[in-house]
Amino acid sequence: MNILISNDDGIDATGIKVLTKFLKKIGNVTVVAPRTEQSAVGHAITMKVPLRVTEYYENGNFFGYAVDGTPADCVKMGIKNIMKVKPDIVVSGINHGSNTAINIVYSGTVSAAREAAIMDVPSLAISIADHHPKNFEFAGKVARELTKMVVKHGLPTGTLLNVNIPDLPEEQIKGILPTLQGKTKWDDVYEERIDPYGDKYYWLTGKLIEADGKLEMDHFAVKNNYVAVTPVHFDLTDYQAYEDMQSWHVENILQHKTKV
Amino acid sequence: MNILISNDDGIDATGIKVLTKFLKKIGNVTVVAPRTEQSAVGHAITMKVPLRVTEYYENGNFFGYAVDGTPADCVKMGIKNIMKVKPDIVVSGINHGSNTAINIVYSGTVSAAREAAIMDVPSLAISIADHHPKNFEFAGKVARELTKMVVKHGLPTGTLLNVNIPDLPEEQIKGILPTLQGKTKWDDVYEERIDPYGDKYYWLTGKLIEADGKLEMDHFAVKNNYVAVTPVHFDLTDYQAYEDMQSWHVENILQHKTKV
């Protein structure tokens, strides 16, 4: 099995090293990851400046390729220019911090997996729900076992699994559940501050508006010590709204059509 | 009517100036846009560095607020810190270049509208399907008329309209259609080059794989000289895959659960 690994915390993060250790037990691993942290980059890609790729060593041993771009850049570059064949699966993570509910939209970890899905390669995004995680070993095991399951069962074209894991040792985990993207989101506001030169600057701050009360929702499941596994796709059409819009008669905006 | 305008081409782009001119005819306009071009940034937000906001003048007249961040940053900042009340609608654009099919995932223009939808504000993303557009006036008119329609009819919470307009004068436009996100995507590869110092660098290049043959699909509609209006949401769950996954028994990964 050929596995491409990426992340958004950067190639020197603990999470990607643990993930690599676990996945090496079940396949041939290629690591292509951002040189520096790329959290909250969303699905950014680098188009207006060229990319650079360098080999990254750990304790004198080759570990992988560092790209001075985004997670999505790494997956494109990894599949097209480095591996040159489609891997059997792409695994992104292990992220330091959760990517449930609305955070899926902002997540660099998920965007690496989504880029793989766009390229018709099955993929997983793996996150631990703490910015300073302690329980990497359990997350590594979950990643390894779900990798085997995805390769065995397959996923629909364009779909990835977004996996969020409580930062707990295995014996305190209550279960592993298929879940849906939750509705919990941030109420953000920029805190205004003054710099040493007297000029204003703004820091993003926010509080979570909890909107999920069932274990089927990813955010609520993780909060209640379950591992949440959400299938995510990039068909963004709101089909109901498409039906409803038929009655708007948008074509009437065109003068030469309505005059006829 | 209070209208917030943003874009991803930057506050000095022609598109946002035309959009502002047209929307001033129907409401009170606030412009909050990136200081510099932010194409293909996806739904990136700025978290690790503070943001700066400056007033931007055109010909000595105040035009709007320039933020040194992403389109999504501008919408958050615009609603929370600048307008301080929810606008009736957010309009993003007019983008120089199309945002149909897979490009919705990468688009900064769409991400500004999506950030509004996340904040429960109806929104529109407006793009002309040419990187060097000539027919801004027709696009401005479409933006103005659709703005009125969205405020009249409303949109489901979390849904925005993604509008793509052929770069043609109105009389050559065949119609305006409600559409779905197309399946057309890029086959990308990084072209390898050598810099003057003998080091490799890579430019993203790609060719489009056309996969849409019906006018219901945004990409195909625009290609055939129709304006495409696609309702887009951020519920990313693949519900069918969620059902299918029940048979995987992911809970078996947990030793202490399967042993019981």
- Condensed to tens digits (0 to 9), the pLDDT of residues A76-133 reads 999 999 998 899 999 999 999 999 999 999 999 999 999 999 999 999 999 999 999 9
Strands B28-34 and B53-58: unpaired
DSSP 8-class letter at A48? S
- Condensed to tens digits (0 to 9), the pLDDT of residues B33-89 reads 999 988 777 888 888 888 999 999 999 999 999 999 999 999 999 999 999 889 999
- Condensed to tens digits (0 to 9), the pLDDT of residues A168-213 reads 999 999 999 999 999 999 998 899 999 999 999 999 998 999 999 9
pLDDT of residue A63: 98
Q: How many CA atoms lie within 13 A of B50 on its CB side?
A: 13
pLDDT of residue B260: 40
pLDDT of residue B258: 53
Question: Quick check: A245 contacting B, CB < 8 Å?
Answer: yes
Question: Quick check: A219 contacting B, CB < 8 Å?
Answer: no
- At residue A260 the predicted structure's pLDDT band, cuts being 50, 70 and 90, is very low
Using a CB-CB distance cutoff of 8 angstroms, which residues of chain A are in contact with residue B106? 43-45, 72
Contact B240 A145 (CB under 8 A): no
- Condensed to tens digits (0 to 9), the pLDDT of residues A18-65 reads 999 999 999 999 999 999 988 777 888 888 889 999 999 999 999 999
Chain A, residues 107-126, CB within 8 A of chain B, namely 111, 114, 118
| Nearest-neighbour CA in chain B from A53: distance (Å) | 7
Q: Enter the pTM of the model.
A: 0.93
Q: What mean pLDDT comes out for the span A231-241?
A: 95
Instruction: Among 3.90.380.10, 3.40.640.10, 3.30.565.10, 3.40.1210.10, name the CATH number for the domain at A2-182+212-259.
Output: 3.40.1210.10
CA distance A242 to A25: 47
Question: Quick check: B66 contacting A, CB < 8 Å?
Answer: no
Contact B230 A242 (CB under 8 A): yes
pLDDT of residue B257: 66
ipTM of predicted complex: 0.90
pLDDT of residue B224: 97
Is-contact B4 B73, C-beta < 8 A?
Answer: no
Instruction: Among 3.40.50.720, 3.40.47.10, 3.40.1210.10, 3.40.640.10, name the CATH number for the domain at B2-182+213-258.
Output: 3.40.1210.10
For residue A2, the cross-strand partners are A28
Chain A, residues 189-218, CB within 8 A of chain B, namely 189-190, 192-193, 199-204
Beta strands per DSSP E along B84-199 = 89-96, 123-128, 159-165, 175-178, 185-194
- At residue A257 the predicted structure's pLDDT band, cuts being 50, 70 and 90, is low
Enumerate residue ranges in chain B where pLDDT < 50: 259-260
Using a CB-CB distance cutoff of 8 angstroms, which residues of chain A are in contact with residue B238? 156, 159, 231-233, 235
